């Protein structure tokens, strides 16, 4: 089994809020305080500056810096959480998962399990398999279906019996109940996790050629 981890999580920034303010505005609260002291030293004693106004400006600048500090701390917390999520996702590699989704991975040889759950019993049901381009490659009459979870083993062949190429295929199942209403089954992607993709910032589990977000996982078991 090939395992893979793609992408990295965001790095925790080490620059301080004061440094960020310096880069953005050209000065920070320390610079402003130095300017304030220098102005006090060289002001005309007969025409002193309005110290109350200057102190008010310093207070405002301090509030801005505190805001930068809060933002920096929040970003660091989010980065740490992403790292924790990434490590949790990596632990799924090699395990068998079930996740809400409509993808099935076909390796080119072995049958692919397509798990689904009908909300109510139906008198008939049809499964449709589509390729990456959205083209229907197989339509299967499943017959009457009971309410609950079931699995169809797709042999990887199209409607003419031709073996299709390896890849990720989508499937959907609809049925007609006793009252003539259309029922749509909830579909699941199942299989052994072979890798984790982190390039989007959110963990996506790779199950062969199929992909499912970590948040969609409903069940995990050891292989």
Same domain, 66 and 129: no
Same domain, 131 and 158: yes
pLDDT confidence of residue 13: 43
**Main-chain phi, psi angles of 61, to 5 degrees:** -65, -35
Give me 215's structure tokens: 């948040």
Same domain, 109 and 80: no
Residue 208 CB burial class (10 angstroms; 0-12, 13-18, ≥19):
buried
Same domain, 104 and 84: no
In a domain, 128, yes or no: yes
In a domain, 5, yes or no: no
Given 90, 112, 137, the domain boundary residue is 90
| Torsion of Cα atoms, 173 then 110 then 134 then 211, to 10° | 90
In a domain, 1, yes or no: no
Short-list 124, 127, 133, CA closest to 115? 127
Given 90, 119, 143, the domain boundary residue is 90
Per-residue pLDDT of the chain (223 residues; tens, 9 = 90+): 444 555 544 443 444 556 665 665 556 667 666 766 776 677 666 666 566 666 676 666 666 666 666 666 666 555 555 556 666 778 888 999 999 999 999 999 999 999 999 999 999 999 999 999 999 999 999 999 999 999 999 999 999 999 999 999 999 999 999 999 999 999 999 999 999 888 877 789 999 999 999 889 999 887 6
Same domain, 71 and 107: no
Given 90, 115, 147, the domain boundary residue is 90
Same domain, 49 and 81: yes
pLDDT confidence of residue 76: 58
Partners of 182 in the β-ladder: 176
In a domain, 124, yes or no: yes
Same domain, 31 and 48: yes
Q: What is the CATH number of the domain that holds 109?
A: 2.60.40.4070
Task: Using only the alpha carbons of the chain, give its radius of gyration.
Answer: 30
Give me 125's structure tokens: 């049901």
Domain count, the chain: 2
Query: Longest C-alpha distance within the chain, in Å?
Result: 100
- Helix, strand, coil percentages in the chain from 3-state DSSP, rounded to 5: 30, 35, 35
Strand 167-176, strand 124-130: pairing: antiparallel
Residue showing tokens 């949790």: 88
Strand 4-6, strand 195-197: pairing: parallel
Give me 149's structure tokens: 């979870």
Q: Determine the straight-line distance between the first and last CA of the chain, rounded to whole angstroms.
A: 12
Same domain, 82 and 181: no
Give me 36's structure tokens: 């304030």
pLDDT confidence of residue 11: 40
Same domain, 65 and 110: no
* Residue range of the domain that includes 33: 11-90
Give me 205's structure tokens: 């589990």
| Torsion of Cα atoms, 146 then 100 then 89 then 201, to 10° | 180
Dist CA 149 CA 117 (whole Å):
4
């Amino acid at each position: 089994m090939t395992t893979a981890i793609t992408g990295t999580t965001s790095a925790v920034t080490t620059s301080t809020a004061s440094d960020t303010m310096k880069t953005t505005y050209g000065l920070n609260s320390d610079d402003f305080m130095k300017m304030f002291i220098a102005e006090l030293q060289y002001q005309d004693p007969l025409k002193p500056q309005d110290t109350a106004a200057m102190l008010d400006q310093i207070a405002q600048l301090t509030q801005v810096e505190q805001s930068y500090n809060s933002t920096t701390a929040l970003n660091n917390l989010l980065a740490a959480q992403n790292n924790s999520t990434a490590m949790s996702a990596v632990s799924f590699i090699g395990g068998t998962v079930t996740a809400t989704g409509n993808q099935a991975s076909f390796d080119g040889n072995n049958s692919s399990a397509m798990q689904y759950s009908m909300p109510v019993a139906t008198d008939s049901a049809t499964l449709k398999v589509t390729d990456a381009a959205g083209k229907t490659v197989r339509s299967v009459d499943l017959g009457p279906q009971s309410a609950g979870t079931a699995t169809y083993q797709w042999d990887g062949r199209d409607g003419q019996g031709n073996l299709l190429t390896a890849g990720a295929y989508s499937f959907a199942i609809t049925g007609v109940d006793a009252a003539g209403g259309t029922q749509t089954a909830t579909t699941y992607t199942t299989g052994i996790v072979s890798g984790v993709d982190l390039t989007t910032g959110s963990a996506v589990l790779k199950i062969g050629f199929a992909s499912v977000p970590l948040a969609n996982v409903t069940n995990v078991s050891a292989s």
